[in-house]
Amino acid sequence: MAMEHDAIGLVDLDFWSPTSYMPVYGLWCGPNWSAGERGGEKTRAQLVESEVLTRIGIDGVTPEISPVDSFCKDHDIAYFDARGQPDEAMRKLEADLVLMARLEQLDFDQLPETERLYGRLMSFAFFEKILCVDLPNASSGWMGNRILDSPSPSKGSFRKSMV
Protein backbone atom coordinates (compact mmCIF):
# COMPACT_ATOMS: atom_id res chain seq x y z
CA MET A 1 0.00 0.00 0.00
CA ALA A 2 1.50 3.33 -1.03
CA MET A 3 1.48 6.26 1.34
CA GLU A 4 2.40 9.90 1.23
CA HIS A 5 5.70 9.90 3.13
CA ASP A 6 5.11 13.35 4.65
CA ALA A 7 2.20 11.87 6.56
CA ILE A 8 1.65 9.58 9.51
CA GLY A 9 0.13 6.32 8.37
CA LEU A 10 -0.36 2.61 8.77
CA VAL A 11 1.34 0.53 6.10
CA ASP A 12 1.16 -3.20 5.30
CA LEU A 13 -1.03 -4.16 8.25
CA ASP A 14 -0.50 -7.76 9.29
CA PHE A 15 -2.76 -9.35 11.89
CA TRP A 16 0.15 -11.50 13.15
CA SER A 17 2.60 -8.60 13.45
CA PRO A 18 1.64 -6.19 16.25
CA THR A 19 4.32 -3.68 15.21
CA SER A 20 2.55 -3.25 11.86
CA TYR A 21 -0.19 -1.44 13.81
CA MET A 22 2.28 1.27 14.87
CA PRO A 23 2.19 4.30 12.57
CA VAL A 24 5.11 5.22 10.34
CA TYR A 25 6.42 8.57 9.13
CA GLY A 26 8.75 9.42 6.28
CA LEU A 27 11.00 6.76 4.85
CA TRP A 28 12.60 5.60 8.12
CA CYS A 29 10.39 6.23 11.16
CA GLY A 30 8.38 3.34 12.57
CA PRO A 31 8.90 -0.22 13.71
CA ASN A 32 10.39 -2.43 11.01
CA TRP A 33 10.12 0.50 8.54
CA SER A 34 13.35 1.33 6.71
CA ALA A 35 13.98 3.08 3.39
CA GLY A 36 10.25 3.34 2.73
CA GLU A 37 9.38 -0.33 3.11
CA ARG A 38 8.24 -2.73 5.81
CA GLY A 39 10.72 -5.50 6.52
CA GLY A 40 13.08 -5.36 3.61
CA GLU A 41 16.37 -7.15 3.10
CA LYS A 42 18.70 -4.32 2.17
CA THR A 43 22.42 -4.47 2.78
CA ARG A 44 24.08 -1.91 5.02
CA ALA A 45 25.46 -0.12 1.95
CA GLN A 46 21.97 0.07 0.43
CA LEU A 47 20.59 1.49 3.68
CA VAL A 48 23.33 4.12 3.85
CA GLU A 49 22.71 5.13 0.21
CA SER A 50 18.92 5.35 0.63
CA GLU A 51 17.48 8.83 0.85
CA VAL A 52 15.59 10.47 3.68
CA LEU A 53 12.35 12.38 3.36
CA THR A 54 12.54 15.81 1.77
CA ARG A 55 9.41 17.72 2.67
CA ILE A 56 8.14 21.29 2.50
CA GLY A 57 9.30 23.42 5.44
CA ILE A 58 7.11 25.43 7.78
CA ASP A 59 7.20 28.38 5.37
CA GLY A 60 5.09 26.26 3.00
CA VAL A 61 7.55 26.71 0.12
CA THR A 62 11.13 25.64 0.83
CA PRO A 63 12.00 21.94 0.48
CA GLU A 64 13.94 20.66 3.50
CA ILE A 65 15.36 17.35 4.65
CA SER A 66 13.31 16.01 7.53
CA PRO A 67 15.49 15.94 10.66
CA VAL A 68 13.21 13.38 12.32
CA ASP A 69 13.45 11.04 9.32
CA SER A 70 17.22 11.57 9.25
CA PHE A 71 17.46 10.62 12.95
CA CYS A 72 15.40 7.50 12.25
CA LYS A 73 17.71 6.50 9.39
CA ASP A 74 20.77 6.74 11.64
CA HIS A 75 18.89 4.75 14.29
CA ASP A 76 17.93 2.02 11.80
CA ILE A 77 21.54 1.70 10.62
CA ALA A 78 22.70 1.41 14.25
CA TYR A 79 20.13 -1.39 14.76
CA PHE A 80 21.38 -3.08 11.58
CA ASP A 81 24.94 -2.93 12.94
CA ALA A 82 23.79 -4.35 16.30
CA ARG A 83 22.01 -7.35 14.81
CA GLY A 84 23.66 -10.66 15.77
CA GLN A 85 26.39 -9.06 17.89
CA PRO A 86 27.10 -10.52 21.37
CA ASP A 87 26.18 -7.15 22.90
CA GLU A 88 23.15 -6.58 20.63
CA ALA A 89 20.84 -5.50 23.47
CA MET A 90 23.36 -2.96 24.76
CA ARG A 91 23.95 -1.58 21.25
CA LYS A 92 20.20 -1.17 20.71
CA LEU A 93 19.90 0.60 24.06
CA GLU A 94 22.70 2.96 23.01
CA ALA A 95 21.01 3.61 19.63
CA ASP A 96 17.73 4.40 21.39
CA LEU A 97 19.47 6.75 23.84
CA VAL A 98 21.21 8.58 20.98
CA LEU A 99 17.86 8.94 19.18
CA MET A 100 16.25 10.31 22.35
CA ALA A 101 19.10 12.80 22.87
CA ARG A 102 18.80 14.04 19.30
CA LEU A 103 15.03 14.44 19.64
CA GLU A 104 15.49 16.37 22.89
CA GLN A 105 17.80 18.84 21.13
CA LEU A 106 15.38 19.39 18.26
CA ASP A 107 13.39 22.64 18.10
CA PHE A 108 9.94 21.15 17.47
CA ASP A 109 8.50 24.60 16.74
CA GLN A 110 10.58 24.67 13.54
CA LEU A 111 8.95 21.49 12.20
CA PRO A 112 5.80 21.11 10.13
CA GLU A 113 2.83 20.00 12.22
CA THR A 114 2.84 16.34 11.13
CA GLU A 115 6.55 15.88 11.76
CA ARG A 116 6.28 17.71 15.08
CA LEU A 117 3.49 15.37 16.19
CA TYR A 118 5.34 12.21 15.12
CA GLY A 119 8.59 13.38 16.75
CA ARG A 120 6.82 13.97 20.06
CA LEU A 121 5.07 10.60 19.85
CA MET A 122 8.45 8.98 19.18
CA SER A 123 9.89 10.61 22.29
CA PHE A 124 7.16 9.10 24.46
CA ALA A 125 7.32 5.70 22.74
CA PHE A 126 11.10 5.40 23.02
CA PHE A 127 11.07 6.50 26.65
CA GLU A 128 8.73 3.57 27.38
CA LYS A 129 10.72 1.19 25.16
CA ILE A 130 13.97 2.05 26.93
CA LEU A 131 12.40 1.41 30.35
CA CYS A 132 10.38 -1.69 29.48
CA VAL A 133 12.49 -3.42 26.81
CA ASP A 134 16.02 -2.07 26.44
CA LEU A 135 17.09 -1.82 30.07
CA PRO A 136 15.81 -5.30 31.05
CA ASN A 137 17.37 -6.87 27.94
CA ALA A 138 20.70 -5.09 28.32
CA SER A 139 20.92 -5.74 32.06
CA SER A 140 20.01 -9.43 31.73
CA GLY A 141 22.75 -9.83 29.13
CA TRP A 142 25.20 -7.95 31.33
CA MET A 143 24.25 -10.01 34.40
CA GLY A 144 24.43 -13.26 32.45
CA ASN A 145 27.94 -12.41 31.29
CA ARG A 146 28.97 -11.50 34.84
CA ILE A 147 27.71 -14.87 36.10
CA LEU A 148 29.47 -16.76 33.30
CA ASP A 149 32.71 -14.85 33.88
CA SER A 150 32.68 -15.34 37.65
CA PRO A 151 34.76 -18.07 39.33
CA SER A 152 33.15 -21.48 39.59
CA PRO A 153 31.09 -22.10 42.76
CA SER A 154 32.83 -25.45 43.05
CA LYS A 155 36.01 -23.58 43.99
CA GLY A 156 34.29 -22.27 47.11
CA SER A 157 34.04 -18.63 46.05
CA PHE A 158 30.24 -18.71 45.97
CA ARG A 159 30.03 -20.16 49.49
CA LYS A 160 32.52 -17.60 50.84
CA SER A 161 30.48 -14.74 49.44
CA MET A 162 27.32 -16.10 51.08
CA VAL A 163 28.87 -16.25 54.58
Question: pLDDT (tens digit, 9 = 90+) per residue, 21-66?
Answer: 899 999 999 999 999 998 888 999 999 999 999 999 889 899 999 9
Count of Cβ atoms closer than 10 Å to residue 6 Cβ? 16
Q: What is the mean pLDDT of the chain?
A: 88
Confidence of residue 133 (pLDDT cuts 50, 70, 90): very high
Average pLDDT over residues 99-112: 96
**Quick one: which of 19, 86, 83, 78 has its CA closest to 47?**
78
Q: Which amino acid is at 97?
A: L
| Segments of 39-152 assigned E as strands | 54-56, 63-65
* pLDDT of 1: 40
Share of the chain above pLDDT 70, in %: 84
* pLDDT of 145: 60
Phi-psi region of 72 (alpha: psi -120 to 50; beta: other; left: phi over 0): alpha
Count of Cβ atoms closer than 10 Å to residue 135 Cβ? 14
pLDDT at 3 over 70: no
Which region among 52-66, 78-92, 131-145 has the lowest average model confidence (pLDDT)? 131-145
Q: At what angle do helices 67-82 and 88-105 cross, to 10 degrees?
A: 170
> At CB < 8 A and 24+ separation, what contacts does 32-37 make?
34/73, 34/76, 36/5
* pLDDT of 155: 46
